Structure 1
Amino acid sequence: MLGSTSRYRRELLTRLRIPFSVTAPDVDETPAPGESPRELALRLALAKAKAVAALHPEAVVIGSDQVADLAGQPLGKPGEHDRAVQQLRQMRGQTVIFQTALAVVCLATNFEQVDLAEVKVVFRDLSDDEIENYLQAEKPYDCAGSAKSEGLGIALLESIDNDDPTALVGLPLIRTARLLRQAGVKLL
């Protein structure tokens, strides 16, 4: 079961060819005072998995969250155009770590594991026109840090460094597969 409202995570999970349903977790995503982007992503991924597991105690539940980390400051989903412009202006010419956390929980078996993929992304020194053209084309207002590398957003970047190629999109499938196997889910 996927505890997420993200269409990106839903699309990624279908790659594993396992049956699953989706339940929206009821979790407040407000950062705690002094909470680092890494801590925030891990806390929210686990909270989402636990919230859905409480409703479906027999299910193996996947929760995930992604936070863009710009020099220790969390950048979440912009929600609207002006905030996306602001985020991309902050990130131009900078290295941003996308913290993609994953939790797998099954209450019936007392299984609970978390993992984190850190994706180092170097943004080009973007012009205001490039930012505006990108936002008009992609409208990535539901993506942490306003960037969608799986589309035109790849043109915003100098480089991506990670060990799990789907982590930047929102669900690190290598780690997901490992945790699902540990929880007893047969994948192949």
Structure 2
Amino acid sequence: MSDVPTLPAADRALILGSSSRYRRELLARLGLPFEVAAPDVDETPRPGEAPPALARRLALAKARDVAARFPQAIVIGSDQVADLAGQPLGKPGTHERARAQLRAMSGQTVIFQTALSVVCLASGFEQSDLAAVEVRFRALDDGEIERYLRAEQPYDCAGSARSEGLGVALLDAIYSDDPTALVGLPLIRTARLLRAAGRVLP
């Protein structure tokens, strides 16, 4: 029998398994104390892997990776993949890749698949969810793409457009049942899974 005490859910540390400052800022809105730990996960898509499956797999892998280091904690993992006609678009990383992404999305509807997993090894809790956000891009010319990229440099953002910033000017419409999902962490679903894991929220 293990000598490690079993903690009530309310006493467990809450850890965000992410290096994203956007997710950190979003989770802070729930008013719960939490820590941050960066997961060590290979985010390379598998051959033929659909964007929703990729997002779900990576979110769970991130949560499990951090939970393995902090087994008593409740760990949140999340991942976002931009889905353009079934093709995954991740973080561009460079100006050239961001330009190519925005050219490809010009005049198109893109589904931003934001997956979420909550894991606690000590209690055996593990649940996941997925928020799909439909985003319609305006027809963009090369000049406005270039001006936008120079102004905002969204190279760490899946799909190369920050809807919470100047990137909203590139869009025609956003449809979502979880408004913060597009920024990187669906808070309605996060609150739901944390309550299921035993945390008390307002």
Tell me if 1:87 matches 2:80. Answer: no
1:109-188 to 2 correspondence within 5 Å?
109-188=123-202
**1:63-107 Cα shifts (integer Å, max 9, x gaps):** 000000000000000001000000000000000000000000000
* Aligned residue type for 1:73: Q
Q: How far apart, in 2, do the equivalents of 1:82 and 1:106 lie?
A: 40
Q: How far apart, in 2, do the equivalents of 1:31 and 1:184 lie?
A: 33
Q: 4+ runs of 1 displaced by more than 2 Å? A: none
Q: How far apart, in 2, do the equivalents of 1:157 and 1:170 lie?
A: 17
Q: How far apart, in 2, do the equivalents of 1:139 and 1:52 lie?
A: 29
The partner residue of 2:47 within 19, 33, 46 is 33
Aligned to 1:105: 119
Q: How far apart, in 2, do the equivalents of 1:8 and 1:168 lie?
A: 11
**1:128-181 Cα shifts (integer Å, max 9, x gaps):** 011001101110000001010000000000000010000000000000000000
Tell me if 1:61 matches 2:106. Answer: no
Structure 2 residue ranges without an equivalent (≥5): 1-14
Please give the secondary structure, in 1, of the residue aligned with 2:179.
Answer: coil
Alpha-carbon offset, residue 49 of structure 1: 0.2
Q: How far apart, in 2, do the equivalents of 1:174 and 1:33 lie?
A: 32
* Aligned residue type for 1:170: G
Q: How far apart, in 2, do the equivalents of 1:96 and 1:61 lie?
A: 29
* Aligned residue type for 2:171: L
Aligned to 1:96: 110
Count of residue pairs brought into register by the alignment: 188
Structure 1 residue ranges without an equivalent (≥5): none
Q: How far apart, in 1, do the equivalents of 2:199 and 2:122 lie?
A: 14
Alpha-carbon offset, residue 187 of structure 1: 1.4
Please give the secondary structure, in 2, of the residue aligned with 1:50.
Answer: helix
